[in-house]
Amino acid sequence: MKTSGHLSLDSHAAPGGPRPSRRRFGAAMAALAAGAFLAGGSAPSWAEDVVRVGVIGEFSGAYAIYGQQSRRAIELFMKEHGDKAGSTRVEVVYRDTTGLNPEVSRRAAQELVTREHVQFLAGFGLTPNALAVAPVATQTKTPMIVMNAAATVFVPTRSPYIARVSLSQQQVAEPLAEWAAKQGIKSVYAIVPDYAPGIDVEKYFSRAFEAAGGKMVGSVKTPLGGVEYAPYLQRAAAAEPDAIFFMSPSGDQGLQFLKTFRGRGMEKDIKLLSTGELTDEVVLDSLGDDAVGLITSMHYSVAHDSDENRKYVKAWKAAYGQNEQPNWYATGAWDGMAAIYYTIEKLGGKIDGDKAIEALKSFKSESPRGPISIDQNRDIVQNMYIRRVEKVDGKLANVEFETIPNVGTTQE
């Protein structure tokens, strides 16, 4: 029930009747203060002129550099587009998981929905964190916008209230495998991290590569952290592949892998193929000239050649410094906010979980990464790019040289 703008201390007292007790007066003033707090920054879910978005992300800990990219993108989007979607004001509330913490993520989602009265859940850089929140979204019928978690079929299928605007590992793996086969690469050894995205990316790369006539000559799964890559690379070299397919769960591990790969001189005989995490913009400079020539597949590069991307990068540098640049995490968050604004405006600020999800299925946008849309399975459809690390104006860049348009994710 909505409350009025003022509070009667004793609505049943006749003029000149008994004054309210001190206890009742104190309770009334507390209620008035609480009402003022809600109106100013914690609007309940029935307030149609304010929609609150609860963003759950890895803002500290080992993945903080990626969580910070997401938060910066959200804040820049609201700076560039204003804090209103149509006539509805948008507020964002952040919660930090401190890293890979499914239970912390679940509790944060519950608190955001029940106490902070958010009408959207969003963020989620890591797949396990997103999966932990899915039941909360289902139980409370809260639309949940996954901005970055990338396990293939796991994420959107875990709740009917999830829509994903990031990517799936199928989207990055299959185009790269097909490209490799066309280049005459006949055998590949896979080195991937032992978690859902790593398992997915190996599955889809292997399937597509062998369907194109290639042969997988071996594979190994590594821990998520503190990996010593030398023994894994020794096993890969013993299989004598034409190429190694590698995925890194973080920029630091990618750097360690590349140092070991180059240090053993393996680049002389074995090509290296990877998903875009290896040459992520936030770590690319640290890779140094050893990165030049690396081939990766991904859905976004700062070097993407479009007016929309140039405006985006210019705004980013103006806001955060000329040496700063957005990466794919940032772009997922940027597009996630675009999807949320679209939905709020389409529904006139009256957020109903089922109607919001239906509205999201019609979302289309010209993103900094290229054209994107949400399909009927609540997953992203987008261009994928094969890129090569090159020097551009003296700086390393992921230069796209082949585009695979309108790539979706197959439900299995």
pLDDT in tens, 152-166: 767 899 999 999 999
Specify whether the CB–CB gap between 274 and 190 falls below 8 A: no
| % of residues, the chain, pLDDT over 90 | 77
In the predicted model, is pLDDT for residue 395 greater than 80?
A: yes
* Mean pLDDT score, 194-207: 92
Q: Measuring CA to CA, which residue among 302, 311, 345, 360 is closest to residue 146?
A: 360
Residue 55 CB partners (closer than 8 Å, separation 6+)? 70, 71, 74, 92, 93, 94, 95, 122, 123
261 membership: H or E segment, kind and range: helix 251-263
The DSSP bridge pattern shows strands 120-123 and 243-246 to be unpaired
What's the pLDDT at 154? 72
Mark whether 133 and 224 lie in a shared domain.
Answer: no
Q: Measuring CA to CA, which residue among 275, 245, 263, 89 is closest to residue 168?
A: 275
CA pair distance 109, 116, nearest whole angstrom: 10
Q: What is the pLDDT of residues 308-336, one digit of tens each?
A: 999 999 999 999 999 999 999 999 999 99
Q: How far is CA 401 from CA 184, 212, 337, 384, in A?
A: 18, 21, 29, 11
What's the pLDDT at 11? 31
Domain membership of residue 198 (yes or no) is yes
CA pair distance 191, 220, nearest whole angstrom: 5
Mark whether 230 and 315 lie in a shared domain.
Answer: no
Mark whether 104 and 79 lie in a shared domain.
Answer: yes
Would you put residue 210 in left (φ > 0), alpha (ψ -120 to 50) or beta? alpha
∠ at Cα 172 (167, 173), nearest 5°? 135
What's the pLDDT at 320? 98
What's the pLDDT at 30? 38
Its sign, for the CA torsion 98, 104, 106, 110, is negative
Mark whether 250 and 398 lie in a shared domain.
Answer: yes
Residues in the chain: 412
In the predicted model, is pLDDT for residue 183 greater than 90?
A: yes
Mark whether 335 and 392 lie in a shared domain.
Answer: no
CA pair distance 259, 257, nearest whole angstrom: 5
Specify whether the CB–CB gap between 378 and 360 falls below 8 A: yes
The CATH number linked to 209 is 3.40.50.2300
| % of residues, the chain, pLDDT over 70 | 87
The DSSP line for 346-370 is HTTT---HHHHHHHHTT-EEEETTE
CA pair distance 126, 151, nearest whole angstrom: 9
What's the pLDDT at 41? 37
What's the pLDDT at 21? 39
Mark whether 57 and 156 lie in a shared domain.
Answer: yes
Helical H runs in 246-352? 251-263, 281-287, 307-320, 328-346
CA pair distance 5, 143, nearest whole angstrom: 30
Query: At 53, is the pLDDT very low, low, confident or very high (cuts 50, 70, 90)?
Result: very high
Structure tokens at 274: 């990877």
Domain membership of residue 202 (yes or no) is yes
In the predicted model, is pLDDT for residue 234 greater than 80?
A: yes
> Which has more pLDDT, 118 or 62?
118
> Which has more pLDDT, 124 or 195?
124
Q: What is the pLDDT of residues 117-135, one digit of tens each?
A: 999 999 999 989 999 999 9
**DSSP letter assigned to residue 19:** P
Domain membership of residue 314 (yes or no) is yes
∠ at Cα 139 (197, 4), nearest 5°? 125
CA pair distance 20, 69, nearest whole angstrom: 53
Structure tokens at 389: 């690390």
Mark whether 98 and 146 lie in a shared domain.
Answer: yes
Mark whether 117 and 204 lie in a shared domain.
Answer: no
* Mean pLDDT score, 223-248: 94
What's the pLDDT at 365? 97
Domain membership of residue 19 (yes or no) is no
Q: What is the pLDDT of residues 376-389, one digit of tens each?
A: 999 999 999 999 99
In the predicted model, is pLDDT for residue 51 greater than 90?
A: yes
CA pair distance 151, 196, nearest whole angstrom: 6
**DSSP letter assigned to residue 276:** G
User: What is residue 162's three-state secondary structure?
Assistant: strand
CA pair distance 286, 271, nearest whole angstrom: 21
What's the pLDDT at 48? 53
CA pair distance 358, 156, nearest whole angstrom: 14
Helical H runs in 141-216? 154-157, 169-182, 196-211
Mark whether 223 and 355 lie in a shared domain.
Answer: no
CA pair distance 51, 85, nearest whole angstrom: 9
Mark whether 371 and 393 lie in a shared domain.
Answer: no
In the predicted model, is pLDDT for residue 350 greater than 60?
A: yes
Residue 126 CB partners (closer than 8 Å, separation 6+)? 58, 63, 97, 99, 100, 149
Mark whether 235 and 218 lie in a shared domain.
Answer: yes
In the predicted model, is pLDDT for residue 190 greater than 80?
A: yes
* Mean pLDDT score, 284-305: 94
* Mean pLDDT score, 99-108: 96
Domain count along the chain:
2
Specify whether the CB–CB gap between 401 and 386 falls below 8 A: yes
∠ at Cα 141 (409, 348), nearest 5°? 90
Q: What is the pLDDT of residues 5-26, one digit of tens each?
A: 333 223 333 333 333 333 333 4
Is the pTM higher than 0.75?
Answer: yes
In the predicted model, is pLDDT for residue 28 greater than 90?
A: no
Mark whether 310 and 270 lie in a shared domain.
Answer: no
Q: Which domain holds residue 175?
A: 170-298+386-407
In the predicted model, is pLDDT for residue 104 greater than 50?
A: yes
Specify whether the CB–CB gap between 361 and 355 falls below 8 A: no
What's the pLDDT at 150? 85
Domain membership of residue 75 (yes or no) is yes
The DSSP bridge pattern shows strands 88-96 and 162-164 to be unpaired
